[in-house]
Structure 1
Amino acid sequence: MLYNTSPDTAFTPTTQIDPLGYGKVAIVTGCGSGIGLATAQLLLAHQFRVCGLDAREFDYNLLRVEDHGRFHFTQGDLTRPGACEEGVRVCVAAFGARVDVLVNVAGVMDGFASADSVTDEVWDRVLAVNLTVPVRMMRGVIPFMTGVAGGRDGVIVNVASTAGVSGAVAGVAYTASKHGLIGATKNVAWRFRNEGIRCNAVLPGAVESSIGKTIAGGLDEVGFEQVKPVHALQARPTDGAPIITAMEVAKTIVFLISDQARTINGVSLPVDKAWGVV
């Protein structure tokens, strides 16, 4: 019941409307699992309308039923020419000519291959998914954050990695792609700082996520042996499992989206329990 029947009684809602996402639209790539799914779930809980993009089918059972009406999913390969722009167009068609938030999560691991063994196929695939797609997505949403939408303080969060600042945790393709994504983040932050757009990156450590199961080109045993000692520093000493959850990363992303982070722009924020200081 929205209003009391008696005009003499003040109406007190049982739940307050969340001001963070009310009336706002967010796009999340890689929304089907891991950090992307956790981010979509958390944004919906904050009353955002969310457009999710993923190459695989989406399981709506992973969302609360009451959130289904504010979630629009599009399946497709974002590396395909025009696919990123199409994803933005679908979002605008679904929720109107505004995009307040973009979270670039979709990514693929390399097989830990080094510069002397990486194939052209793996290099092209990893750079396309991890760097080219985020840049194309940013290119697609910026007009709706600065022009058509009237400059509504847009926020972009790119999910990079500890591999974006270290050369000792992944193969050469993944490392290069995440270093590049941090550079793109800084460039967008500076270029559009006066247009009301903030652009930041998060740098997760080892997270239990589907990206670890999506390895381009298969595992390079020689390269992997070189990074194993570094990865052991991030895992739990008892069972070797990652100690960071996807939801913990998602909460950091939502913080960067919030007004509490209004003066934070162009940063690369580690979410790695001090792994990156090694």
Structure 2
Amino acid sequence: MLYTPTPDSLYHPPSTHIDPLGYGKVAIVTGCASGIGLSVTQLLLSHQFSVCGLDISEFDYNLLRVEDHGRFHFHRGDLTEPGVPEDGVRISRQSFGGRIDVLINVAGILDNFSSADGITPEIWSKVLATNLTVPVMMMRSVLPYMKERKEGVIINVASTAATSGAVAGIAYTASKHGLLGATKNVAWRFRNEGIRCNAVLPGAIDTSIGKTIATASGKNGLDPEAYALVEPVHALQALPSDSTPTITPLEVAKTIIFLVSDQARTINGVSLPVDKAWGVV
């Protein structure tokens, strides 16, 4: 255990080289090839988890320690395609002895900041499929195995846009609001079966929003009029200073690891911001 069971007993930390957090356990991470997903993968492996990483992009094994390669299996695929989430879970079970202890849904995409008057059916469908349908299908695929073992942890990476209507377009905002609803539903439904489901709400990560916006302008149909209305809200956080440094993917990953650990064993159904108080505005 990573906590003291009773406050009046002396806690003796483990004197073994085996990490009690992840030794013998298996985690699935979507969006593992970059950003938060990559940081989560690296951190899980450092805690001796076996990790099955899923991503639509290729994975660079040079970003992992050589000693961790044996506990990592990568499967490339488009999780929005029918059957691919189920394939990812099946491959994970085949690779690591059948058990699934943790699912971390990280994979997600931004929209073009359009609201209801400018959103196209193509962008709406793609964003909702990636940001909401995929996490739900991943949860659907792992829950039978977690229920069978009477334990499991699911972490969904949402966004400040999950509780605010002023930081993204309608598709991204709706998808992340929906992901919070799905998180709460799963947490309540399986609370008595040893399964916890929580969400983290990252703010702007290393100015990635700004980089994405700059890249998308004129190329992927960025809605400049709609973005002009949310830009002042982004400026409240996305501009770093000496006193308020940018949020890194590793900091979000550390929060996820806390929620995975036994230290958070009574935390279920929460939406935890990692945003330097941006979400209180």
Say if 1:26 and 1:62 are closer, same or farther in 2 by CA, change over 3 A.
Answer: same
Alignment TM-score, normalising by the size of structure 2: 0.89
Structure 2 counterparts to residues 55-66 of structure 1, below 5 A: 55-66=56-67
Distance 1:245 1:80 in 2: 30
User: Quick one: percent identity of the two aligned structures?
Assistant: 73
CA distance in 2, matches of 1:47, 1:173: 37
CA distance in 2, matches of 1:255, 1:217: 36
Aligned: 1:202 with 2:203: no
Is 1:183 matched with 2:184? no
Q: CA deviation at 1:67?
A: 0.3
Match runs of 1:194-233 below 5 Å: 194-208=192-206, 213=212, 217-233=220-236
Distance 1:76 1:55, change over 3 A: same
Q: Which runs of 5+ in 2 are unaligned?
A: 1-13
Select which of 253, 273, 276 maps to 1:273.
276
**Alignment pair present for 1:138 and 2:133:** no
* Structure 1 residue 15: Cα displacement: 6.6
CA contact (8 A) 1:110 1:170 kept: yes
State TM-score, norm by structure 1: 0.90
Q: CA deviation at 1:144?
A: 1.0
Distance 1:210 1:106, change over 3 A: farther
Q: Tell me the equivalent position of 1:122.
A: 123
Letter in 2 for 1:160: A
Give the aligned partner of residue 192 of structure 1.
Answer: 190
SS at match of 2:198: strand
Residues 235/94 of structure 1: CA separation in 2 closer, same or farther (3 Å cut): same
How far apart, CA to CA, are the structure 1 residues paired with 2:61 and 2:208? 17
Match status 1:73 vs 2:74: yes
What residue identity is the alignment partner of 2:239? Answer: R
The alignment yields a C-alpha RMSD, in angstroms, of 2.0
Residue 9 of structure 1 is matched in structure 2 by none
State how far apart, in whole Å, the 2-side matches of 1:96 and 1:111 are: 42
Matched with 1:255 is: 258
Per-residue CA distance 1:122-170 (angstroms, 9 max, x = gap):
00000000000000000000011111xx22x200000000000000000
Paired with 1:254 and 1:219, the residues of 2 have a C-alpha distance of 34
| 2: CA distance, partners of 1:98 / 1:218 | 43
CA distance in 2, matches of 1:68, 1:100: 19
Q: Any conservation in 2 of the 1:34–1:210 contact (CA below 8 Å)?
A: no
Q: Which residue of the other structure, out of 163, 166, 170, is the alignment partner of 1:165? A: 163
1:51, 1:122 → 2: CA distance? 29
- Amino acid aligned to 1:199: C
User: Cα distance, 1:217 vs. partner?
Assistant: 4.3
Q: How many residues were matched structurally?
A: 262
